[in-house]
Structure 1
Amino acid sequence: MESIEVVNAARLERLIVCEDMNLSGVCTRVKIGNAPKLKLFGYLEPGKHTLEIGDTVIMPGVEASPSMMLTTVKILSLHVCFGVHKDIKMMPAFLGCFPNVESLHITSAKCDQPTDKLNLKFWEDEAGPIVNVLLRIRVMTFREFRGEQYELSFLRYFFKSTYALNQAVISLANPSFTSRSEDEMISSVVNMRIGNFASEFEVLFYVSTGPEGLSRWTFKRGAKFSDDDPFATVKIIPRPGDQTSQACKCHN
């Protein structure tokens, strides 16, 4: 798929781009024109997608203007190779285009040959303050976490920057496909300096038992409108009569 262009879609609420649409290695152009009711958007991949809003191609380092923002989108999903410099340089630019996102879902792609040591300073210098990270995002999920330093650097930046976050859900990659044990992956997050985080929030862990890179996406799930967030792998459900305790419902 070389190009996806939303020209005039007055009733479109969900735009789901399946990774199977891009098998040639060529970047797919995703252009959003008129979509005034778009609420859910994903999976955007910095390494495989070129995002264009209106007549502007989103590039690293370009400050987002109102004409470059999709303010109706509340749920955003990204598929990111955190070990590749050119890919993660696109993340601040992408996030800046969705200032009202409340639920951010990230899948970490496997990186066999990281191109750079991407530490916390990189994120603070490159990304700086992003409005939706600071003030809007209430739920964040991070799938296929392997405990790599470049993943931890992003999580540390995110947790230090967010003021509205209520829950962070971290899905550990199947230990059968990683060099770290379940305990090691969990400890790498727990041992962060929590005192430096901007707000208090709950961190939930669960371990994937599926294949490396997760199971294939099904459009049937995305088209089920009774599910308000088909990208969420875990639902946080308040227990009746208890507003403080919560239960998890996992999705395959």
Structure 2
Amino acid sequence: MSVAEELDVVVAPRLERLVLWNEFPYPRRVSHDFRMRVKIGYTPELKMLGYLELGIHVLVIANTVIEDGAKPSHRTMVPTVKVLALKVRFGVRQEAKMLLTFLRCFPRVETLHIMSAESDEPTGKLNSKFMFCQDVVPIECLKSHIKKVVFKNFRGEGSELAFLRFVLERAQLLQTLVVVLADEGGDHASQEEVGNRLKPLIYSTRRASRCTNFVIFVHSGGSAWNFRTASDLSRSDPFDC
């Protein structure tokens, strides 16, 4: 099966959902330097987008390539998107940094899905403590819009915890945080250990949200997301599975 090198959504005035499916999990079956260009043009009704894979997809909005550290402007934003799904290898520094840049491109996201992927390439030592907290430029969707965050395949890594803390400290309207533990092959002891790493985060983080019905759900099972389920138009959120 071939892998597309480019997807250009030039003019799609009625497109509401753009669901991307990678048949060959990166990086096992594609070249390490493979990139797929995803261009979003005139899409005034686009509300749901994902999974954008930071290790594969090069995001282009209008005619602007979104690069690490790019400053947000009206030309580099898609304000109609309400549900955004991103796949990130938190063990790869460049992807972890690019995650924040991508979030700035979608200022009105209300539901954010993050799927954590394993990395099989050396990336050097990561300073997870400062990876996200050094970023001082406000992220509009976190500050004013995000109400629900779903984090799938949580392994308890320092960079994953740092990102969750980053979200909790900035998401002022956050109502629900769902953390799905990675499937460790039925090893309940291992999953319990990973779950325990969340406790300091849950109980010691100074949350920005003052929502009175704020809840955190933690459960096991990995990610059951698949393209067939996501293609069911009766689902209000194609990534909530």
C-alpha distance after superposition, 1:165-208 (max 9, x if no partner)? 10000000113287972222222112125351212521101111
Aligned residues, how many?
Answer: 228
Q: Deviation string for 1:118-153 (max 9, x for gaps)?
A: 323221213642110111110100000011111111
> TM-score with structure 1 length normalisation?
0.84
- Pairing 1:6-85 to 2, within 5 Å after superposition: 6-20=9-23, 23-25=29-31, 26-85=34-93
TM-score normalised per structure 2: 0.87
Q: Does 1:137 align with 2:151?
A: no
When the two chains are superposed, the root-mean-square deviation of aligned CA atoms in Å is: 2.1
In the alignment, does 2:175 pair up with 1:175?
A: no
Which runs of 5 or more structure 1 residues have no equivalent in the other structure? 234-252
Deviations along 1:60-96, one digit per CA (max 9) or x if unpaired, are 1110101111010000000000010111121111100
Residues 98-118 of structure 1 show CA distances to partners (whole Å, capped at 9, x for unaligned) of: 000000000000124453323
Q: Which position in structure 2 is the counterpart of 1:146?
A: 155
User: Compared with structure 1, are the counterparts of its residues 178 and 80 closer, same or farther at alpha carbon in structure 2 (3 Å cutoff)?
Assistant: farther
Q: Distance in 1 between matches of 2:100 and 2:186?
A: 29
Distance in 1, matches of 2:123 and 2:59, equals: 24
Aligned residue for 1:205, secondary structure, equals strand
Match for residue 196 of structure 1? Answer: 206
Residue 215 of structure 1 deviates from its aligned partner by: 4.8
With a CA cutoff of 8 Å and minimum separation of 6, indicate the structure with the bigger relative contact order: 2
Q: Give the 3-state SS of the residue equivalent to 1:161 in structure 2.
A: coil
Alignment-mate amino acid for residue 30 of structure 2: S
* Distance in 1 (alpha carbons) for counterparts of 2:238 and 2:143: 24
1:37–1:83: structure 2 CA closer, same or farther, 3 Å change rule? Answer: same
Structure 1 residues 61, 223: closer, same or farther in 2, change over 3 A?
A: same
Q: Give structure 2 stretches of 5+ with no counterpart.
A: none
**Corresponding residue for residue 246 of structure 1:** none
Q: Which moved more, 1:116-125 or 1:75-84?
A: 116-125
Question: What residue in structure 1 maps to residue 108 of structure 2?
Answer: 100
